[in-house]
A and B are shown apart, each in its own frame.
Chain A
Amino acid sequence: MLMEKSKDLGTPRRGWERGLEGRNGRHPEKPVREVTVSIDGKEVSVPEGTSVMRAAALAGVGVPKLCATDTLEPFGSCRLCLVEIEGKRGFPASCTTIVEPGMKVKTFSERLAGLRRGVMELYISDHPLDCLTCPADGDCELQDMAGDVGLREVRYGYAGKNHLEAEKDTSNPYFTFDPAKCIVCSRCVRACDEIQGTFALTVEGRGFDSLIQPGPTGEFLSSECVSCGACVLACPTSALMEKAVIDLGLPSESTDTTCAYCGVGCSFHAETKGTTVVRMTPNKESLSNHGHSCVKGRFAWSYASSRDRVTKPMVRRSIEEPWQEVSWQEAIQHVASEFLRIRDQYGRYSIGAVSSSRCTNEEDYIVQKLVRAVFRNNNIDTCARVCHSPTGYGLKKAFGESAGTNPFDSVDQANLIFVVGANPTDGHPVFGSRMKQRLRAGAKLIVADPRRIDLVRTPHIEAQIHLPLRPGTNVALLNAIAHAILEEKLEDRAYIESRCDLAAFEQWCEFIRRPENSPEAMAPVTGVPAETIRRAARLYATIKPAAIYYGLGVTEHSQGSTGVMCLANLAMLTGNVGIEGGGVNPLRGQNNVQGACDVGSFPHELSGYRHVSDEKTRRNFEQAWNVEIDPEPGFRITNMLSAATIGEFKGLYMHGEDLVQSDPDASHVIEGLRNMELVVLHDIFLNESSRYAHVFLPGCSFLEKDGTFTNAERRIQLVRQVMPPLCGKQEWEVIQEIAQAMGYPMHYHHASEIMDEIARLTPTFSGVSFEKLARLGSVQWPCNERAPEGTPVMHREQFVRGKGFFALTGYVPTKEKVSERFPLLLTTGRILFHYNVGTQTRRTPNSTWSKEDLLEIHPSDAEERGIRDGDKTELRSRKGSAIMRCVVTERVAPGTVYATFHFPENRTNVLTTENSDWATNCPEYKVTAVQVSRVFEPVRHEERVNGKTAKGRGAVPVAGE
């Protein structure tokens, strides 16, 4: 059986419609004026500006259509949707005609039927009639329309000129383009322009000869196309079609779940046949992605069924020995008894765990419970440590809550967008597209980034100001902006006086006004001219609402937390917190960074960011868990490893994490792990860290589990099991069994019961349950009695901490400085097609686009070193070296080089230093002094020394690396 399709109302929503009010607290800002019309005698009231087609659909009357769909602006090209309107001459197209009060519309008459059949005949005469073998059979709008208009014959015959022999473009690994099936409705072109904002497609030629062309190369793979899939979704025929559907046929069931790749948290329909996923299509109803997707979530999920998956538990006595497969029971017994032994032998603080922001809230919660209630200490940390811990610290200090302030939707209201150290079009593509829509509609843009990211200049968008600062000088730049705002008296006095802690503000003013914080003083430090800094300050302070979006380019610095507080200060200074269209918004790297932090994965905090020293909170947990909780903070990841090197830490449970690959200073990590007596790794693949592990517990991909993820806008969404776990157990079950084997009673029957417990014990989550999430689609915390459907914009009336706090943010230069030996500053980033260290995406056809990491270097720096575009270069820091091919480009400023790190043979942490954020120890990945030199091929020996990936993986061969 084929699935039911969701209803297409033909043209996009205008204003607000009945039935959508209050959904997730989205109240209409202004009541819209309604217009009442009659469709075939049925009265219907719709918001002003609605099309006749949409009004008809809302009245339950379907008008035939081909070029219209409700995700795109109407176009009026197919002429199939003609209607009759009383008092109007001719036959207007219902998709482009707007309702007027009292309008009387007739959607069917003999005349209309004849006209529509004529249109269809023309289309069909140039369309192959191989419906029964067409991959879209049963899911084709052309077919539906032929049925709708009652097409019975084609008078033109098929002998004339046609496109039936046109060649198929199969270059894209995920979808094909078959011009023979194309009806040139241009829905794909509009999807690429309006939704994705890439402008890759054009209609070439006119009339009968017109043809869809991906530009500039004419072939999808090598064109500008970023493979987001929007055009495929919009195409009414099989002209653009997923290859998986061509191979497997149309899916028969659909389960809604959430993408496990990035902090946008797109919602998808996982469409399956049995337990095989056929395709993932973005969910139109979802407030995080509104029916859009990027190449990762839409297409790159085949890693879940990769042959590299390990599905049996494995144990070995020492890391020199090969792995032995064992039963689950044996593995769990072994883990439990070893942890108990180590704790007895070396004391209560000698064991701990690291959890992952790729895992669900329920999994992260149960891991920290294992540590606090069963291990009986607070040695729990999460990989959010290495990306966004400064966000938690900084925003908590300033506003009182460790989370971004506004929903993604709020960008629609922003009149100024300030992007700092983030690259949304690559890192958070679906939100990047959203931001581009707003920018094309006229919002102003300031970008502060060492590199000229795509957003600075892209089709129909140009940043008003780009501040190409030297890596590591965010705080200097942001202080100078604040200085200029104060100097020109552009601050929002009334807001500050009513909303902020005035004593702290006065102290801050005194500090920021000091001459050392002026744009003139900071210009030589940041490399940005004082006048440019002042222009940015003026623009930011005079346009409201102004929204700040920032990423790892702010947090991964020795002053990461200070940088976050600088942004908070700027937003409060200009009255931009607590309003639609404003705010301070972190773009989180991994999908569940927010959630992992929310549910208590840091050593000093219980769920909901409550410090372990807080008596009352501890009491609650102690009563619920029936154990005493340690009131002192435990070890962070680096502390665990340091303690291991001096023999004080002996056993680690690593859940979904690869410390060797993703944590700073690889040798420090390895030394720490080598000194432990028990390293348990719970993951879906053997990774770099597995070489130092004694136990491997197989995990589940997101398609195999139930739970929730919380995206960067605090939106909690369900993850649903689409196929049974390959290893036989969901991850929370494994952790529960370890707890039980260690003598602690734990009896959840389903992930939803874990969320119920989180809700009981966490005031900001008290209204959350799986049932509510299923009913509403999603909820943004805080969700409690006062906000039963969640809170889209935080700090509306007052800050969570009461008064907003201006912290003093002195600029302290990083210890990492350029020198004669290392004259360039390396900064790092990611690209669209790969995710993090690439463990998943490299195991999918996404590698078609990007097979290696690349180094970007400015022409003048390149010339000085005799380097040409495409050369192999060696990158050397005081920590280590890496080899990669280079691109000579003016995207980076002289003195700065930029590289991606998605491939294991080039580990960032081989180069980066031990420097870290002062407050949270978030590593300083964004600043490393390096030298670059050309290497002459062959370089195989060096690659091997540097790479060390292929060997030592133990019993299971790892393919594809």
Chain B
Amino acid sequence: MIEDLVQMANQIGDFFRSYPSQAEAAAGIADHLRRFWSPSMREKLIDYAQRDGRDLSEPVRAALALLQAPAERS
């Protein structure tokens, strides 16, 4: 299941590549994950990022860092 999640996340990351800055892309990805992914899916991905994270693209990793920030439980 984690491969699916990684692939989906990277695909989301690809869309935000045309954004002008890394920061905006990361914020966009994080927002998308927050709005459309169930908490358990986000947790699995964050867990993977912390454990290994090798297959995640750079912008997605940045977005996950944002998601883990204190705002996470909002």
Chain A residues close to B by CB (< 8 Å): 349, 378, 507, 510-511, 558-559, 562, 603-604, 611, 613, 632-635, 638-639, 642-643, 645-646, 648, 808-810, 812, 914, 916, 918-921
* B37 & A633 in contact (Cβ 8 Å cutoff): yes
* A646 & B1 in contact (Cβ 8 Å cutoff): yes
Residues in chain A near residue B11, CB distance under 8 A: 558, 812, 918
Residues in chain A near residue B35, CB distance under 8 A: 604, 611, 613, 633
Residues in chain B near residue A914, CB distance under 8 A: 4
- Known contacts: A611-B35, A633-B35, A919-B12. The answer to whether A639 contacts B20 by CB under 8 A is no
* B40 & A918 in contact (Cβ 8 Å cutoff): no
Residues in chain A near residue B38, CB distance under 8 A: 349, 378, 603, 632-635, 639
Residues in chain A near residue B36, CB distance under 8 A: 604, 633, 919-920
CB-CB contacts below 8 Å: B45-62 with A: none
Bound-state CA distance A782–B17 (Å) is: 35
How many chain B residues touch A (Cβ–Cβ < 8 Å)? 20
Kindly identify which residue among A558, A632, A638, A921 contacts B39, using a CB–CB cutoff of 8 Å: A632
Q: How far is the CB of B67 from chain A (nearest CB, A)?
A: 13
Q: How far is the CB of A29 from chain B (nearest CB, A)?
A: 40
Bound-state CA distance A613–B35 (Å) is: 8
Q: How far is the CB of B49 from chain A (nearest CB, A)?
A: 18
Bound-state CA distance A914–B38 (Å) is: 20
* B17 & A639 in contact (Cβ 8 Å cutoff): no
23 A-B contacts, Cβ less than 8 Å apart?
A349-B38, A507-B20, A510-B20, A511-B18, A613-B34, A613-B35, A632-B39, A633-B35, A633-B36, A633-B37, A633-B38, A635-B41, A638-B4, A642-B4, A645-B1, A810-B17, A812-B11, A812-B14, A812-B17, A918-B12, A919-B12, A919-B15, A920-B36
Residues in chain B near residue A812, CB distance under 8 A: 11, 14-15, 17
Bound-state CA distance A633–B33 (Å) is: 10
Closest to A377 in B: B38
Q: How far is the CB of B38 from chain A (nearest CB, A)?
A: 5
Residues in chain B near residue A635, CB distance under 8 A: 38, 41
Residues in chain B near residue A642, CB distance under 8 A: 1, 4
Residues in chain B near residue A916, CB distance under 8 A: 8
* B1 & A810 in contact (Cβ 8 Å cutoff): no
- Of A611, A613, A808, chain B has the most CB atoms within 10 Å of the CB of A808
Bound-state CA distance A635–B38 (Å) is: 6
Q: How far is the CB of A769 from chain B (nearest CB, A)?
A: 32
Given contacts A349-B38, A914-B4, 6 further A-B contacts (CB under 8 A): A349-B40, A562-B15, A611-B35, A632-B39, A810-B18, A812-B15
Q: How far is the CB of B45 from chain A (nearest CB, A)?
A: 12
Kindly identify which residue among A603, A632, A643, A918 contacts B1, using a CB–CB cutoff of 8 Å: A643
Q: How far is the CB of A320 from chain B (nearest CB, A)?
A: 26
Closest to A559 in B: B15
Closest to A634 in B: B38
Bound-state CA distance A562–B11 (Å) is: 12
- Known contacts: A633-B38, A639-B38, A810-B15. The answer to whether A919 contacts B32 by CB under 8 A is yes
Residues in chain A near residue B12, CB distance under 8 A: 918-919
- Of B12, B15, B17, chain A has the most CB atoms within 10 Å of the CB of B15
The 5 closest A-B CB pairs, nearest first, are A810-B18, A918-B11, A808-B18, A812-B14, A642-B1
Q: How far is the CB of B14 from chain A (nearest CB, A)?
A: 5
- Of A510, A604, A638, A918, chain B has the most CB atoms within 10 Å of the CB of A918
Bound-state CA distance A562–B32 (Å) is: 14
Q: How far is the CB of A813 from chain B (nearest CB, A)?
A: 10
* B18 & A809 in contact (Cβ 8 Å cutoff): yes
* B4 & A918 in contact (Cβ 8 Å cutoff): no
Chain B residues close to A by CB (< 8 Å): 1, 4, 8, 11-12, 14-15, 17-20, 32, 34-41
Bound-state CA distance A914–B32 (Å) is: 21
Residues in chain A near residue B1, CB distance under 8 A: 642-643, 645-646
Q: How far is the CB of B15 from chain A (nearest CB, A)?
A: 5
Bound-state CA distance A643–B34 (Å) is: 18
Q: How far is the CB of A281 from chain B (nearest CB, A)?
A: 44
Bound-state CA distance A645–B4 (Å) is: 12
Residues in chain A near residue B32, CB distance under 8 A: 919
* B41 & A639 in contact (Cβ 8 Å cutoff): yes
Residues in chain B near residue A613, CB distance under 8 A: 34-35
Bound-state CA distance A916–B38 (Å) is: 18
Bound-state CA distance A114–B32 (Å) is: 79
Q: How far is the CB of B26 from chain A (nearest CB, A)?
A: 15
Q: How far is the CB of B17 from chain A (nearest CB, A)?
A: 6
Residues in chain A near residue B15, CB distance under 8 A: 559, 562, 810, 812, 918-919
Bound-state CA distance A613–B74 (Å) is: 9
Closest to B9 in A: A918
- Of B8, B17, B18, chain A has the most CB atoms within 10 Å of the CB of B18
Closest to A565 in B: B15
Bound-state CA distance A653–B43 (Å) is: 26
- Known contacts: A642-B1, A643-B1. The answer to whether A918 contacts B37 by CB under 8 A is no
Residues in chain A near residue B34, CB distance under 8 A: 613
Closest to B33 in A: A633
Closest to A921 in B: B8
Closest to B18 in A: A810
Residues in chain B near residue A510, CB distance under 8 A: 20
Bound-state CA distance A383–B1 (Å) is: 22
Bound-state CA distance A642–B45 (Å) is: 14
* A808 & B39 in contact (Cβ 8 Å cutoff): no
Closest to A640 in B: B38
Residues in chain B near residue A633, CB distance under 8 A: 35-38
Residues in chain A near residue B41, CB distance under 8 A: 635, 639
Residues in chain B near residue A634, CB distance under 8 A: 38
Residues in chain A near residue B20, CB distance under 8 A: 507, 510
Residues in chain B near residue A562, CB distance under 8 A: 15
Residues in chain B near residue A603, CB distance under 8 A: 38
Kindly identify which residue among A511, A638, A918, A921 contacts B14, using a CB–CB cutoff of 8 Å: A918
Q: How far is the CB of B74 from chain A (nearest CB, A)?
A: 8
Bound-state CA distance A496–B34 (Å) is: 31
Residues in chain A near residue B17, CB distance under 8 A: 810, 812
Closest to B19 in A: A808
Residues in chain A near residue B37, CB distance under 8 A: 633
Residues in chain B near residue A808, CB distance under 8 A: 18-19
Closest to B25 in A: A808
Bound-state CA distance A914–B35 (Å) is: 23
Q: How far is the CB of B39 from chain A (nearest CB, A)?
A: 5
Closest to B34 in A: A613
Bound-state CA distance A559–B18 (Å) is: 14
Closest to B74 in A: A613
Bound-state CA distance A808–B19 (Å) is: 7
Q: How far is the CB of B46 from chain A (nearest CB, A)?
A: 14
- Of A634, A635, A639, A914, chain B has the most CB atoms within 10 Å of the CB of A639
Bound-state CA distance A289–B40 (Å) is: 46
Q: How far is the CB of B28 from chain A (nearest CB, A)?
A: 10
Bound-state CA distance A604–B36 (Å) is: 6
* B40 & A648 in contact (Cβ 8 Å cutoff): yes
Bound-state CA distance A300–B69 (Å) is: 57
Bound-state CA distance A604–B41 (Å) is: 14
Bound-state CA distance A378–B40 (Å) is: 12
Residues in chain B near residue A632, CB distance under 8 A: 38-39
Q: How far is the CB of A648 from chain B (nearest CB, A)?
A: 7
Bound-state CA distance A634–B20 (Å) is: 31
Residues in chain A near residue B40, CB distance under 8 A: 349, 643, 648
Closest to B10 in A: A918
Residues in chain A near residue B8, CB distance under 8 A: 916, 918, 921
Closest to A648 in B: B40
Residues in chain B near residue A648, CB distance under 8 A: 40
Q: How far is the CB of A669 from chain B (nearest CB, A)?
A: 14
Residues in chain B near residue A507, CB distance under 8 A: 20
Residues in chain A near residue B4, CB distance under 8 A: 638, 642, 914
